[in-house]
Amino acid sequence: MKNYDIEATWHYHNGTKHPNGMLLNRFHVFHPSHRPTPYKIYKNAPQVSLPLDKNPVGTFTLDAISTIYNTSNSTILDLGTISKVLYFSSGITKKIKFPEPLGEVDFRAASCTGALYHIEIYLVCSNISGLDAGVYHFDPKHMRLDTIRLGDFRGYVTSSTADEPFVRQASAILIFTDVFARNSIKYQSREYRHAFWDCGTIISNTLAITSAHKISSKIITGFIDLQIGKILGLDIREEAPIVILPLGTTNHDAPACPSLQEAIPEAIASDYEIEYPEINTMHDASCLLTETDVESWRHEITREQKDSTNIIPLGKNVIPKEPLEQTIIKRGSTRKFSLESITLDELSTILSQSTKGISADFANSESLSDIYIIANAVDGLESGSYYYVKEKNSLEQLRKGNFRNASGNLGLDQDLPYDASVAIFMLIDLDKMLKQFGNRGYRVAQLDSAIIGGKMYLASYALGLGATGLTFYDDIVTNFFSPHAENKEAMFLIAIGKKEKPT
């Protein structure tokens, strides 16, 4: 099977690294006037308005991000809860005016590289209160659903996952897709990493809001790509399904599926036709083709634990009583950090609450990524580099010293990682992931790291701090944390600190 020819991933991953101290393609210019329309537009699709109630359901952010809710005792879904799940995952939470040609920009619930919003969300559901069974597209601009097909099509999704039990019993299923050109117009072939970074930050929100509403969910990354593309009517060279998230439970088996032959409404996914063959090649190489492929692919792995020395216990957890919805609405990537310190208790809370794990078809409740930290300014913690020993909820000191310059340098020589109190890097043993999961392990590795990053965003804002995702020079991150990080690849970076107050 092509999926296990893992040279394809190494070729893509190594070929899209920012070479040390330089951008992958220094000469590429993206002009803001070319910013693509940041959502898909359906022509003539019947629409369903989404009611929007932003009132908190009463769960604190830090509880919501740290609780895995995947029991069979799930809240019954209705249009109101679906609407909240979609809004707090990817709805428009603020508008900011910029000088022309950009003008007013809608910002969303989760962070996204370049604010290009290339991740779309679809819903495949049974009859639920307020909504007929069907296949729908979420339109965040108008807070409504575009109807793509009417009828109960869950059976097709279930069979594409080789009858995955959570998918089979779900009353609604979210499908996250990536519109390549909407992000590659700026980031070129690196886009395929961004697909999973930006889907991961959205899914952190989705998991938090579903857990707050006691809706069971599970991340599904193993499915027949083409079959899902067909249900949604996608041209998968342009827009590819990347993650499935079944929601809720029902006792009724999905009825026999209606035909997929009927024409569906036309849509424009991207204003531009831009192809980077590296992206399509990488995506194709990680596709699963049959139910047998999916079944034999699916297994859960656990993180390898390492012996640690120089262990420093973390501080105590601070649990601010801020409701999740409030945190999501106020979140936004920090554009300037003050050089002030955060406390060890704050750092401890962010680390422990963001890494309580996930329910996924590739990991049994535990995240797979390793966490490395540069502490620039943390009261109660010596400046230096650290490894987070999750199983002991402690830090292992790797090196002492003032590493602000290194922190800025690793984060693409930007001020943000220099000024931040901490820079937190997610790294992973990619070779091991690929041996376990084939090329599809690349999707899993990027996604797993990004979900932790997304949770860290929420934890930081709940604590009244600021945070921003950042890009990095790949190999010098590994070098900086080696020998501890030897043979690991950098997947995600988030900088956290105090926001500079406007003067």
Ligand X SMILES: Cc1cc2nc3c(=O)[nH]c(=O)nc-3n(C[C@H](O)[C@H](O)[C@H](O)COP(=O)(O)O)c2cc1C
Residue closer to ligand X, measured from CB, 201 or 409: 201
- In angstroms, what CA-CA distances link 402 with 199, 408, 483? 34, 12, 19
The two tokens of residue 113 are: 């590289």
Residue closer to ligand X, measured from CB, 408 or 469: 469
For ligand X, the binding residue among 16, 113, 327, 369 (CB under 6 A) is 113
For ligand X, the binding residue among 11, 412, 475, 479 (CB under 6 A) is 412
Does residue 187 interact with ligand X by CB under 6 A? no
Task: Name the residue among 62, 2, 43, 8 with its Cα closest to residue 348.
Answer: 62
Task: Name the residue among 334, 167, 157, 163 with its Cα closest to residue 246.
Answer: 167
User: In whole angstroms, how large is the CA radius of gyration of the chain?
Assistant: 21
Does residue 112 interact with ligand X by CB under 6 A? yes
Crossing angle of the two packed helices 191-212 and 180-187, in degrees rounded to 10: 130
* C-beta separation of 203 from 447 below 8 A: yes
- What residue is closest to ligand X based on CB? 469
Residue closer to ligand X, measured from CB, 416 or 465: 416
- CA contacts within 13 A on the Cβ side of 9: 25
Percent of the chain as helix, strand, coil, to the nearest 5: 35, 25, 40
Contacts of 306 (CB under 8 A, 6+ apart): none
Does residue 407 interact with ligand X by CB under 6 A? no
For ligand X, the binding residue among 197, 362, 473, 480 (CB under 6 A) is 197
For ligand X, the binding residue among 59, 70, 90, 111 (CB under 6 A) is 111
Q: Tokens 């931040």 map to which residue?
A: 420
# binding residues, ligand X (CB under 6 A): 18
Does residue 150 interact with ligand X by CB under 6 A? no
* C-beta separation of 145 from 166 below 8 A: no
Does residue 23 interact with ligand X by CB under 6 A? no
Does residue 107 interact with ligand X by CB under 6 A? yes
Does residue 276 interact with ligand X by CB under 6 A? no
Calpha distance 6→312 (Å, rounded):
38
Within 321-340, the residues that bind ligand X by CB under 6 A are: 332-333
Query: What minimum distance in Å lies between the beta carbon of 330 and ligand X?
Result: 10
Within 385-404, the residues that bind ligand X by CB under 6 A are: none
* C-beta separation of 100 from 112 below 8 A: no
Segment lying near ligand X (by CB under 6 A), choices 43-51, 108-116, 157-165, 356-364: 108-116
Residue 345 CB coordination number (10 Å): 17
| Binding string, residues 416-435; x marks residues near ligand X by CB under 6 A | x-------------------
Residue closer to ligand X, measured from CB, 25 or 364: 25
Q: Which residues bind ligand X (CB under 6 A)?
A: 107, 111-115, 197-198, 201, 332-333, 412, 414, 416, 468-471
